Structure 1
Amino acid sequence: MSRERKRFLVVVSGILLLALAGMASLASRSEKTTGPSKKKEAVKRKEITVEKFEIYDSIRGRRIPYALFRPKRAPGDSDSIRLVIFSHGYGANYPRNYLNYSYLTKRLAREGFWTLSIQHELEGDSLIPQTGIIQVVRMPFWKRGEENILFVLNHFRETNPELVIQSLDLIGHSNGGDMSVLTARDYPGLIRKVITLDNLRMPFPLCANPQFSSLRSTDKTADAGVLPVAASCDSLGIRIIQLKSITHNQMNDEGTRKQKKQINTYIQKILEDRI
């Protein structure tokens, strides 16, 4: 073999060794970068606890199932909590409707909100009227929901006397949104914020406190007078948000991942005063 050829092979070998060393170095740096990132992501996804209860209101002779979604507590955690009470949409007495919004209730718990989700309908209840003056014939059903909300709240306080409720917010879908609006109208000093998912019947009170917001579907229109006119919304801080590509019946766990993300993002921003 000629001297020139030997020299050429030595140079090529050196270049190959340098290239391999560089690739190894890049791989090592890549592993060091992704490791902490994954760990940070895991820490961000807080562990939560889900507990189911069934309590009895002896005055009304009515049982009330509800679920508590909360972040797992550790020694030294603050006793001051942010509480949300969620009310489901009408389900013709389907007994597990209060568990059918887990994408929302679990997300709230991961973000630090203790969330009570109440079952408002029981098997054997009268179905809500579909005819007549709706705001009149459905008022007894909304009042029953209001009583459920107050009863569950009192039960929660009695069974968790060490906790201090820093803020109380109401969220409700459709008929559950109507009863949430009614509760806030009747007990304005109790509630910080109300967020409805496409409530259609119960008018928003014209007030700045509590603060009212509503996420609207693409296929339903609220009755006249339910949502304030734009000028009133501007002056009172009421937020009416039109969602994209989400129908009324896609606001529970039946919605797509993208739809759920859109709803959760808006709710989180409203609760944290970022919108």
Structure 2
Amino acid sequence: MEFLNDLLQYAYLRHALAACVLSGITCGIIGTYVVCRRMVFLAGGITHASFGGLGLAYWLGADPVLGATAFAVASALGIEWVSERGRIREDSAIGIVWSVGMAAGAFFMSLRPGYVSGDLAASLFGSIVTVTGADVRSLAVLTAVVVAGAALWLRPVMYAAFDRSFARSRGIRTRAIGWCMAVLTALAIVLSIRIMGIVLLISLVTLPVAIVNLFSRSYRTIALWAPLTAVAGNVAGLWLSYRFEVPPGAAIIFVLVLALISVKLLSLRSEKLHCRR
């Protein structure tokens, strides 16, 4: 009851709740594509590359979200371009972007006048008090775009995620899908940083999909239930963060991991019972 009362009283908590719901929907849908295409570390590379933009923005006194967005989108498009050209192995390109982004972020934040460790901790592990109404509105727009795209172009995106060669043979523009999904992934990551933090954000893209994938192999089913799973995990983690005063990102991860273990144990038990029959 105390949590519900504070929701009505404090705007920052309402913003955090709205961001949890919206980021869960967005990351669940995009995570389905990323996991099925086996590019989980792409999300990790983009996430950590965005730290460079955050550090530069803090140093220049600019909007950190804009700085992170610029770095994230540039790194996502760069990795996609490299993977198409084949001049550098994709995993190598992701590793380079990952390390350079983190190094640049740490460097610029150390140069910032009045640098405090709280800014670094909030960026790395998330902080619900930093979620603003502007963040919620931006997430709402992105969520609407992602949901509409999933509803209209689910089949071509699914084909591109599983087998790009087959998709090309069907006349599907896989290159356009790849570039669009790279940008959407970057935007989803940047706008979710304040909830999850850079270090833990990759888990929000992968864990809900992994949970649903335990009982379904259908892309459509995963794309439907992964967002719902992510939303449930986010809201539960937000409540735990509020109740026990722990970082929201860590609380959300614990909830999702516990759900993953529970579903896995239930599936194993169900398989044993089926074998006995």
Shorter-normalised TM range:
under 0.3
Q: Which has the higher helix share?
A: 2
Bigger RCO (CA 8 Å, 6+ sep)? 2
Task: Calculate the TM-score normalised by the size of structure 2.
Answer: 0.25
- Structure number, greater radius of gyration: 1
